[in-house]
Amino acid sequence: MIYYLVIFAAGFAGSFHCIGMCGGFACALGRDPRGAAATAERHLLYNVGRLTTYCFLGALAGALGQVVSSAHSMAVPPLTGSLDAAQRILAIVAGLLMIAMALQFFGLFHGFHRAAIGFGGSTLAMSLRRLLAARSRAAPVAFGVFNGFLPCPLVYAFVAQAGSTAAPLPGFLVMLAFGLGTFPAMLMMGGVGRLLAPAWRQRGVWLAGACILLLGLVTLGRGVLPFAAHDVHAGHAEHASGGGEPG
């Protein structure tokens, strides 16, 4: 449980990053002329759409991880039990990916991000613009769904994490936790808008980077170190002390 709480926290911290891009979308979605309830509904729908995409990606990544390491087709609960070689490799790959993403948050490794936003990205962005103008009640759902697919290092990092769990259910839960973590900030964006100072946002981004870096290291550790389970708990302790620093 604590594992998912960490991810929720990371998602929450990471959502300060989201405010930069997706927050803009949330703002653009704006207020509904039909009143506060309708506005809330709009933003809730949007976020549910986004969450669905995340969860789907998570479950898919988990299932993929399972296929990769399906020498033992039993789902291995995350962070406990013995890990076979394939799962170790998976953990190493996911861990490295997450670390690469985390470094990006500190302004390193920008090429990676640019590579991710290619041909698909611009088509997606164009589609998103179209949807913003739509007045239909279903539009926010569709908008959220597409939004979820926008190239975003934060999402990729957690999808990698979900993949390393090597089963659909935990993968789904990882992304659910992450997605829910981004809820408060994103919902807030719909209402309070741009009240948050840029300095605070920067701190949030760093915090998110730190969280992801930590999770990446833990995941990597699961693959590299022989006594994985113990290491994770040590990692949590580290996180508790390390998380306070940038904030």
Q: Contact residues for another protein (CB under 8 A)?
A: 49, 52-53, 55-56, 59-60, 62-63, 66, 75, 119-120, 123, 126-127, 130-131, 133-136, 138-139, 141-146, 167-169, 172
Query: Closest CB to another protein among 56 and 112?
Result: 56
Q: What is the nearest approach in angstroms of another protein to the Cβ of residue 126? A: 7
Secondary structure (H, E, C), 51-117 = HHHHHHHHHHHHHHHHHHCCCCCCCCCCCCCCCCHHHHHHHHHHHHHHHHHHHHHCCCCHHHHHHHC
- In a 13 Å sphere around the CA of 234, the CA atoms on its Cβ side amount to 11
Compare residues 108 and 123 and give the one whose CB is closer to another protein: 123
Q: If DSSP codes are grouped into helix, strand and coil, which group holds residue 193?
A: coil
* Least separation in angstroms between CB 239 and another protein: 29
CB nearer to another protein: give 139 or 159.
139
Burial of 26 per CB tally in 10 Å (0-12, 13-18, 19+): buried
At closest approach, how far in Å is the CB of 217 from another protein? Answer: 28
Closest to another protein by CB, 166 vs 186, is: 166
Shortest reach from residue 71's CB to another protein, in Å: 15
Structure tokens that stand for 110 in this block: 């920008």
CB of 154 vs another protein, minimal distance in Å: 19
Q: How far is the CB of 128 from another protein (least distance, A)?
A: 9
The residue among 7 and 167 lying less far from another protein, judged by its C-beta, is 167
Amino acid present at 67: V
For residues 208 and 181, give the distance between their C-alpha atoms in angstroms, rounded to a whole number. Answer: 11
What is the phi/psi pair of residue 153, to 5°? Answer: -60, -35
Radius of gyration of the chain (CA): 18
Handedness of CA 183, 155, 204, 239 (dihedral sign): positive
Q: Which is nearer to another protein, 140 or 216 (CB)?
A: 140
